[in-house]
Amino acid sequence: MCGIVGVIKRKANNVAKDLYFGLLAIQHRGQDASGMLVCGERKCYLKKGNGLVTSLFNEELMFQLPGYMGIGHVRYPTIGLGKEEEAQPFFIKEVGVGLAHNGNLLNYFQLREQLVSKGVKFLSSSDGELLLQLFIVNYGGDPFEAAKKVMEVVRGAFSIVMCIKDKGLMAIRDRFGFKPLVLGEKDGDYMVTSESVALDILQYRLVRDVKPGEAILITPEGEIIARQLYPAIPRYCIFEYVYFARPDSIINGIPVYKARYRLGVNLAKEVEKRGIKPDVVIPVPDTARTAAFAISEYLGVPYKEGLIKNRYIGRTFIMPRDEKRMERVKVKLNPVRYEIEGKKILLVDDSIVRGNTSRAIIQLVRQVNPTAVYFASTAPPLKYPCYYGIDMQTRREFIAKDKSVDEIRKVIGADVLVYQTLDGLVEGVDSGATFCTACFNGDYPIPPREEEIECIERQRLDVGR
């Protein structure tokens, strides 16, 4: 899961500033690397590398990157080895085309072999570079035709923003719409980005989502050309609402805050069925806060901030290795003794993937002597790999894959463990939409082939070494 931003302006020559603040707004979507490509009438500027947006860019640099069009990216690695050359955007100067991408390609390795056999040379192991090369190979002057040909051969999830010389800014979304992509407008200028929060902070008006299977080209003159390249088969990633997206975003027409509040209400009903009567409800910050507040209101139990987060530690789920996640948990959270000691507490978290983080948090809380620790997850048990862009790609890393709820409870050290139901998850986010829920039930919109699974798992093992 990554974050992308694209901006095009008719009159101003300062897109770098909008890209910078847009990337800051979606920094939560990727902490591994950052980058931006800024294009003027005569020259393009590319700067990228490992690290946060603030570590690569500053206000002084913004004035050194003039341009009316540009794209930006924050990276959370799924494909690739996390090296600096894999930072996005990718840009091929000779043809004047740059690309930034959010998603994951199932047939990345097979497509790469085909392109290499045709003489294409790669500088990285990123699927973003692969998508750019595929586009260039099929580009004869019509960007829509090239985009359609890319869609024909790619299996997987992709939301894309592109700078195309003499054409403008292009946005492309796969036919399932796995990854969010929204369009905004301000005084004839346009922004395309992963989440609406980036539009908000720059005062762009949310126009609409890029539709699944659609490509939109915004010309330098401000004309919008939208084409439905393939029929839409919406399967929006439901994990966006559980964990990834900011609560102040609206994606796929669904306010994330409202979705998480409804998830809390549905989870509270499951807690009530178990006959649990906590003294206090405590969220695991930050993504579980909204649901925990809803549970508190529904049960009539006080809501307290019993875990204080060190704001200078990044998101532990998107750390690329398990040992890094464990290191960060130890310094990321600190319990508030006054709110926990001698009380029956209900800890609320967004999900349980490997179980290591949950176990570490419960151990941390028990150090200040609660009388009971109940644990509730706003998501159902995660059992199946995600092949569409969330770093849960191997069959070995799910604690729920071969353990019952009670066995998981014992492993993480909770007195009671309560999961959201799958029906409660879907209804809570939006009962009228269609989602990809493959990580919970194994129902893949694009069923992965065994050779694809083997390539992905082999590559992930290499990353872990």
- Indicate the SS3 state at residue 265: helix
Contact by Cβ (8 Å): 134, 154: yes
What values do phi and psi take at 26, rounded to 5?
-115, 20
Only one residue has tokens 């539009």, namely 199
DSSP string, 193-206: ESSHHHHHHTT-EE
What values do phi and psi take at 83, rounded to 5?
-80, 160
Structure tokens at 47: 């700067």
Instruction: Identify each DSSP E strand in 240-371 by its residue range.
Output: 250-251, 254-255, 280-283, 307-309, 333-335, 344-349
Q: Which of 174, 191, 167 is nearest to 182 (CA)?
A: 191
Alpha-carbon span 196 to 350, nearest angstrom: 21
Q: Which of 2, 163, 237, 386 is catalytic?
A: 2
Written as one letter, the residue type at 16 is A
Strand partners, 334: 308
CA 215 to chain centre: 21
- Indicate the SS3 state at residue 255: strand
- Indicate the SS3 state at residue 434: coil
Alpha-carbon span 17 to 304, nearest angstrom: 38
Would you call 436 a catalytic residue per the annotation? no
Q: Which of 191, 219, 221 is nearest to 18 (CA)?
A: 191
- Indicate the SS3 state at residue 308: strand
DSSP string, 347-409: EEES--SSSHHHHHHHHHHHTT--SEEEEEESS----S---SSSS---TTS-GGGS--HHHHH
CA-CA-CA-CA torsion for 283, 287, 290, 296, nearest 10 degrees? -20
DSSP string, 28-96: GG--SEEEEEEE-SS-EEEEEEES-HHHH--HHHHTT--BSEEEEEEE--SSS---GGG-S-EEETTTT
Show which residues are catalytic: 2
